[in-house]
Chain A
């Protein structure tokens, strides 16, 4: 058990370090002098040089990497070129929108998908299954941002139930803030739920063909009980894998969806930064999201060990 955990942890750390090197390298090869960028075209060469020294840009490459990476560890991402404030402040401001959105979407998609998968596997081959899986097939094909546009048209423009976009801020109260996250969360969650439901169903059906399911049936357990007690837990491993991958997609998805709904999250921050060539912000947010993806994958690896006793004792 501990060996497995340590191995997964080591892998996650290695991946994180490698990823940070990639991000740093990208930062390095981008043309343009950040110091010059910050000071503007009118600054003298001396001024630029001074700032370069201040920013540590003249140090050798490994030293710069260590300095940068050390900064990341203490949540010091550097200063935004355009806003001239620490990047961490910008991130802190925006993450309170993006993170709740991703989490609500993840919860929503799981809550929808697992019961649908169970329902479909339980009625394998019958009409209910066919209809549910037809809907899922369609759901997988819908791009979330288009789905978002259609939702806006239906619920905001037509029915006027929710705002079409914008975010009042959590200071405006929990409900108004949540209300403006409902549509984005649905737009993110439904296509992901469709994928998850399909995976859940096929994992369950695969497990239901196993010998031990027959053993359980031979004990006298009815089909439903077998599905819940024996099949579901064994089917969790592929489901967890997909859930982990989905988190990455959801994070990426939030970036796009925030642009559809004009939500002031990390996604908006990134796109503004791209247009303003505020690269340190771009890199910081990318690094943050990459770290989140790695952390979630580690979590998934750990949850395998909870689900499967074989992993606990093996290597």
Chain B
């Protein structure tokens, strides 16, 4: 007998169909993975079970939880279920907690509401629950406020809230997407343990096939609001009978074809004479510490600590590290958008630190950037022509209007867009197309170095594969060097020759990508590699377990 049974669930919001005939079930103690790309309707499915839908949503079909018809239940009945029998964990831990209430209040609130326990009893139980999710009383008293906790710690609080009353079903909607791989592994472990302890059913929603494979016995693959395939995880993913399943699986492990990988200096002594394109010498960046009182400040925070490295022309280098390790700060300094506290950065032999904007112009011509967020990186008020052509601003001879349009057209063509797109606004493009625009903007001045800050982490897996191909192709064709900043080892493996592992502001390991990822030496690299979900490995493990 299933705990949760969804049958023929269809849902529309206004006139827009969101779900069609979705079928899904979760048994007690079972982990069901719900996988899909953005817009597939996986979050809406979860909200339907909680009946927390936007008011314009209309659902038909059957959703049965523990014998209760969810779609027909009264709001009072739902309130009794929510937080008591069904708990839910959300994607964004930074905003999921009320900033003006202590974590104790927030965990105890649901307990008091459902059990009518006294304040002291509820707080006692909240304390135990916080201990259980790994927030011990010594460091995390009930009186802590959410802003005093990190993202991973906040997600633990959210899990404590959801599991405080030992629900029969836990719904986790992308619970680790906002966290780095090491935190992700920790949170997934915690969820796995809680499921085992309380024989909870877990509906785990994720876009990441590898994560779901590691966690779930059964899997449901959703696309455009319809179930593509459902069944045993190991079998579904090893057989890949459904074309969409195959497409997803292949995209998740995609490695672009790169016939000529860059010859690395240490492999080929002849090339060592070539001058490095970028040279970073003992760069340090401090941020002033928090003001403790009128005169006292906490010690400065060292975001980047005595970092030195170099990149050769045409070389593709990954900078990998956990969130907050200083990799983005380092990238901004390389781009001369931020100045180091000490140390120098040379680009093509010229020092670029401590220079005025005018002096930087020659360097800016040869150095461009691609950002993570394909939505935030374009001014919505300007047309593509202006946006993609923006770096032309640094050219010595300002191109005429016709020349400019020609250059933009060429750049668009190179990234697989049509020159006709020039007169559109950015919002007329999809996420993947916008990232192509971003790349077009980066290559229009024919730079020697492109710094890419998590350029594919906001994209769906199939789009991600295409963009990685594009990066690889441009590396081959234009000989442009990359500094790829990422927390995702599969991306590093796919696109780079060398990898640098950054930890606590320092570069702790550097070497050939495959070598470092297969045989990590430093603790930080080992932790990253161990925590990184890997689809092949996960499938193999599952098959092995099942014999």
Contact = CB atoms under 8 A, between A and B. Distances in A.
Give yes or no for direct A-B contact (beta carbon below 8 Å).
Answer: yes
Interface of A: 2-3, 6, 210-212, 214-223, 225, 229-230, 233-234, 307-310, 313-315
A218 B293 contact: no
B294 interface: yes
A231 to B, nearest CB: 9
Contact of B161 (A6, A210, A219): A219
A234 B113 CA distance: 21
Q: Per DSSP, are chain A's interface residues mostly helix, strand or loop, or mixed?
A: helix
A238 to B, nearest CB: 14
Interface in B53-110: 75-76, 79-84, 87-88, 90, 92, 95-101, 106, 109-110
A309 B147 contact: yes
A315 B99 CA distance: 17
Contact of A217 (B52, B80, B92, B148): B52
Given A219-B82, A222-B79, 8 more contacts: A211-B90, A211-B92, A216-B109, A218-B88, A220-B82, A221-B83, A223-B75, A313-B148
Please indicate which of the listed interface residues B100, B147, B158, B162 has the most CB atoms of chain A within 10 Å of its own CB. Answer: B100
Interface string B101-143: 1000010011001100000000000000000000000000000
Please indicate which of the listed interface residues B83, B98, B101 has the most CB atoms of chain A within 10 Å of its own CB. Answer: B98
Contacts of B290: 314-315
A220 B161 contact: no
15 contacts: A3-B294, A6-B294, A211-B96, A212-B96, A215-B158, A215-B161, A218-B161, A219-B82, A219-B83, A219-B113, A220-B79, A234-B99, A307-B100, A310-B99, A313-B148
A212 B96 CA distance: 4
B319 to A, nearest CB: 30
B291 interface: yes
Interface of B: 50, 52, 75-76, 79-84, 87-88, 90, 92, 95-101, 106, 109-110, 113-114, 145, 147-148, 158, 161-162, 290-294
A10 to B, nearest CB: 10
Contact of A308 (B79, B87, B100, B291): B100
A234 B98 contact: yes
A313 B147 contact: yes
Q: Which 5 A-B residue pairings sit nearest by Cβ, starting from the closest?
A: A220-B83, A219-B110, A219-B83, A220-B82, A211-B95
A233 B82 contact: no
Contact of B145 (A3, A219, A229, A310): A310
Q: Per DSSP, are chain B's interface residues mostly helix, strand or loop, or mixed?
A: mixed
Contact of A216 (B50, B98, B148): B98
Contacts of A308: 99-100
Nearest to A309: B145
Please indicate which of the listed interface residues A210, A223, A308, A309 has the most CB atoms of chain B within 10 Å of its own CB. Answer: A309
B82 A210 contact: no
Contacts of B75: 222-223
Contacts of B291: 3, 315
A3 B113 contact: no
Nearest to B55: A125
A220 B115 CA distance: 12
A176 B380 CA distance: 62
Contacts of B90: 211, 214-215, 218
A34 B174 CA distance: 76
B294 A212 contact: no
A217 B82 contact: yes
Contacts of A313: 145, 147-148
A113 to B, nearest CB: 21
Contacts of A314: 290
B101 A230 contact: yes
Contact of A218 (B52, B101, B114): B52
Please indicate which of the listed interface residues A214, A225, A233, A315 has the most CB atoms of chain B within 10 Å of its own CB. Answer: A214
A120 to B, nearest CB: 16
Nearest to B84: A220
Contacts of A222: 75-76, 79
Given A221-B109, A309-B145, A212 B97 contact: yes
A309 B95 contact: no
A233 B79 contact: no
Contacts of A221: 79, 83, 109-110, 113
Contact of B97 (A3, A215, A218): A215
Contacts of A218: 50, 52, 82-83, 87-88, 90, 161-162
Contacts of A315: 290-291
Please indicate which of the listed interface residues A3, A210, A220, A221 has the most CB atoms of chain B within 10 Å of its own CB. Answer: A220
A127 to B, nearest CB: 15
B173 to A, nearest CB: 10
A313 B99 CA distance: 12
Contacts of B76: 222
B110 A220 contact: yes
B392 to A, nearest CB: 40
Nearest to A216: B98
B80 A220 contact: yes
Nearest to A4: B291
Nearest to B95: A211
A245 to B, nearest CB: 22
